[in-house]
Structure formats: structure tokens, C-alpha cells
Amino acid sequence: MRTRPLKVALLGCGVVGSEVARIMTTHADDLAARIGAPVELAGVAVRRPSKVREGIDPALVTTDATALVKRGDIDVVVEVIGGIEPARSLITAAFEHGASVVSANKALLAQDGAALHAVAEQQGKDLYYEAAVAGAIPLIRPLRESLAGDKVNRVLGIVNGTTNFILDKMDSTGAGYQEALDEATALGYAEADPTADVEGFDAAAKAAILAGIAFHTRVRLDDVYREGMTEVTASDFASARNMGCTIKLLAICERAEDGGSVTARVHPAMIPLSHPLASVRGAYNAVFVESDASGQLMFYGPGAGGAPTASAVLGDLVAVCRNRLNSTTGPGESAYAALPVSGMGQVVTRYHISLDVADKPGVLAQVATVFAEHGVSIDTVRQQGKDGEASLVVVTHRASDAALTGTVEALRKLDTVRGVASIMRVEGE
């Protein structure tokens, strides 16, 4: 074993960074044996230097992250600050000053992954980010390496623990959205400002990263269709139960049936209770991968939290350190397929539509005609009347989102349709 240590700069020492530092210290001997050289924490960049940080030598703490990454003797920079800047400039400077990088930063990788990979490649360095998607769950490496010989057609997952906790609460207790969100906040599952989670931004960043790796195609955050889950109601859950379904916020990355394009989207959807993703409870994450040769694979586990996320960071750190000792690099960006990324209109799925209509003869026929005119075939219709008003629940066969949008626009123009109460996609069948 080499005795000269590999030097690691830790950028950020918060929820994830503090656990990375702890595991590096407590597992130092095992890590050294697995890597073939000791790893030494050479510096820790933070915003508030006076904060007491258990187990961290105060002499290592600095607020000058730029100077730390430019030192020239750093082998690996671990970026767990988050956000776009200064993380992007720090990672770029790290490559330019001789270090490889491990990051947990989904927002940055979804937005600028291609540019960062390009700098890493020019400088002959590694960029690893297993922790950026679904915390502890090994997903990036299985897609990038274990499935490198297969053809992935679909990645369907619950990649945000906060929203899964809220939806699970609504499902199991009949609570409304706000009540379930309040409980998630009180228990520490939701942040004070939950926008990134409940509006689907966090899941969309993960979908962009997963789609890019799965389809060997650049997929940016802007390419991902995004709908949050704040409009999901207790009555949507009742409708879902009537169909033998539950509701999950899903990230769905798909190759089109003709193989010529891909799509990536995040939205709430009904999935059958028999689907493995339906039984993912609380703040857990799970991702279902469908490939030509492997068939269906499911990855399940804690998708966030300090220690679980640090586990993924440490796994990357070991891989990058091994590469470093062997004077090699691991797989970089693979975007050779360069498939077009289609918009939501091209997505084909089933829909559950709930309409408020006048309770009089001929309404059902009128509504059915509008669906037929737009080429959307109806699977089932359920009608319930009450005092001159009625609700119509229509479940369609598979149709394009463009056709469904046209149908709904035309339905809204019918005098007998008082309103479109909800539209939800039905997935996983």
C-alpha cells in the first residue's frame, strides 16, 4: 500500500458534508485498504467558520473555498455545497488545478453537466455524482456501467422523498395536501420553503440526469416537463382507489416506441396498487428500470439524509481515488446517441379525467363524441348524478398528450360541461 496519502478537499460541511467527514475519519483504515492508499482530509470550506463542527480539526476549516481548490496538491474535491454558484466555478477550478471531483449537486449537474464533463475530460480528470440522484441508492453507476451493454427503454421512479411522504400520508390517512405538508415539515421531511420538492424542480433535475445517462443523450433541465403535486386532492385519491390505484409523483424517462426520440417528465400520476412503486412508503425512493435484455429492475432505498447520501459520496471517492492511483479515469459523459428530446405532446399514456357536467340526457354522448373526434379512445366511463349536476369520470386508452389536450380544450367549450375537475395520467400498466 502507498503510504503517501491522497488529499481530499471538502467543500461544504452541512447535512451531507459533516457525514462525509465523519465516515472518512471513522473508516479511515478500511478506506485506505480498499483504495490502496490513505485518504487525508486536507481542508474543509464552509460559510460560517466559527460554527462548532464535531470531529473536524478547526485548523482545516476555511471560508476561502477558491484558494483551497487551487492549492495544487489536492487529489479529489468533494463538492457538497449545493446550488449553481459558487459550486460551478469551484468545480471548474478544481479540474484546472489538477483535482478530480465528486459532487452531490443535482441542480448543477442537470443544468451544466455537459460543460463540466467537457472540462473534466480536457483535464483528464474524473467527475462522479452518484449522490446527486436518490441519495444512497446505487443508480448512476448501474445505469452507466452495469447496463452499458443493454438498451434502456424506460426509467420510472419516485426520486423525491418529501413528496412521497406527503402523498403517502394523504393516501393512508385521507389528509388534505396542506395537512400532510405540515406534518412533513414538523417531522423534518420538508424544508421551510418546500417549493423545490412539491413543485417537482428537484425531481426534474434528477430526471434530466437519469435520462441523459440512460439514453446516452444530453438532456437538460429545460427539456424536462414538470408539474408539481400541490393540486392533488383527497378526492383524487378516492378516484385512484376506485381504479385500484394510488398516486405518486413520478419521474419518467422514456424512449419513444419507434426508438427515434426520448422524453423526460415529472408529474403526479395514478399507478396500480399491484405495481412495485405503489408500495414505496414514507420518504423512501425507488426507481424502476426497463431494458431490452435485463427486463425490469427495481432500485429501492433511502433517497436522502446525511449518512445515506454520504455513503454514495464515499463510494465515488473510493472509485476516484483508485482511478487516481492507477493514473486512469472512469467513464465520462456518454452522449453519442444524441437522440432528439421530444416535448410533452409526444408522450403517450392513459388518462383519468373528472368532469362536472349537467345531469341531462345526451351529455354522455356529446362528451364521447369529443373524445372520438380527437382520436382518444375511452376505456371506461362512470357517471354520478346529484341535483341537476353530475360528475363524469372518463378513463382513456393510451393516447398522445397532444390529443388529450385538444380533447380537453374542446370539452371546456361544451355548454353541458361545467368544468374539468381533474386530469391525471395513469402510468405503470
The residues that are catalytic are: 206
Q: Which of 12, 157, 194, 200 binds ligand NAP (CB under 6 A)?
A: 12
Q: Which is nearer to ligand NAP, 12 or 142 (CB)?
A: 12
Work out how close the CB of 239 gets to ligand NAP at its nearest, in angstroms, rounded to a whole number.
33
Q: Cα(157)–Cα(166) distance, rounded to whole angstroms? A: 16
Q: Determine, following the binding rule CB under 6 A, whether residue 82 of this chain makes contact with ligand NAP.
A: yes
Q: Cα(16)–Cα(307) distance, rounded to whole angstroms? A: 7
User: DSSP readout, 39-60?
Assistant: EEEEEEE-S-TTS--TT--GGG
Per DSSP, the three-state class of 396 is: strand
Residues 6+ apart with CB under 8 A from 118: 333
Binding mask 125-144 for ligand NAP (x = CB under 6 A): ------x---x---------
Work out how close the CB of 49 gets to ligand NAP at its nearest, in angstroms, rounded to a whole number.
7
Q: Which stretch binds ligand NAP (CB under 6 A): 43-51, 140-148, 164-172, 341-349?
A: 43-51
Q: Cα(388)–Cα(359) distance, rounded to whole angstroms? A: 5
Q: Which of 32, 93, 106, 324 binds ligand NAP (CB under 6 A)?
A: 106
Indicate the burial class of 327 (C-beta count within 10 angstroms; 0-12, 13-18, 19 or more).
Answer: exposed
Q: Determine, following the binding rule CB under 6 A, whether residue 228 of this chain makes contact with ligand NAP.
A: no
Q: Determine, following the binding rule CB under 6 A, whether residue 91 of this chain makes contact with ligand NAP.
A: no
Q: Which is nearer to ligand NAP, 81 or 404 (CB)?
A: 81
Q: Which is nearer to ligand NAP, 105 or 217 (CB)?
A: 105
Q: Cα(225)–Cα(264) distance, rounded to whole angstroms? A: 6
Q: Which of 247, 205, 210 is nearest to 226 (CA)?
A: 205
Q: Which residue is nearest to ligand NAP (CB)?
A: 14
Q: Determine, following the binding rule CB under 6 A, whether residue 46 of this chain makes contact with ligand NAP.
A: yes
All three cell numbers of 116, joined, read: 463540466
Work out how close the CB of 266 gets to ligand NAP at its nearest, in angstroms, rounded to a whole number.
16
Q: Which of 14, 282, 315, 345 binds ligand NAP (CB under 6 A)?
A: 14
DSSP bridge pairs for 419: 356
Packing angle between helix 28-35 and helix 15-26, nearest 10 degrees? 80
Q: Determine, following the binding rule CB under 6 A, whether residue 304 of this chain makes contact with ligand NAP.
A: yes
Q: Determine, following the binding rule CB under 6 A, whether residue 305 of this chain makes contact with ligand NAP.
A: yes
Q: Determine, following the binding rule CB under 6 A, whether residue 80 of this chain makes contact with ligand NAP.
A: yes
Residues 6+ apart with CB under 8 A from 116: 88, 91, 92, 101, 108, 109, 127
Work out how close the CB of 51 gets to ligand NAP at its nearest, in angstroms, rounded to a whole number.
5
Q: Which of 164, 239, 291, 309 binds ligand NAP (CB under 6 A)?
A: 309
Q: Which of 101, 81, 83 is nearest to 91 (CA)?
A: 101
- Strands, E, within 259-416: which ranges? 262-272, 284-291, 295-302, 348-358, 378-386, 389-396, 399-400
Work out how close the CB of 351 gets to ligand NAP at its nearest, in angstroms, rounded to a whole number.
33
Total binding residues for ligand NAP by CB under 6 A?
25
Interacting residues toward ligand NAP by CB under 6 A: 11-17, 45-48, 51, 65, 80-82, 86, 104-106, 131, 135, 304-305, 309
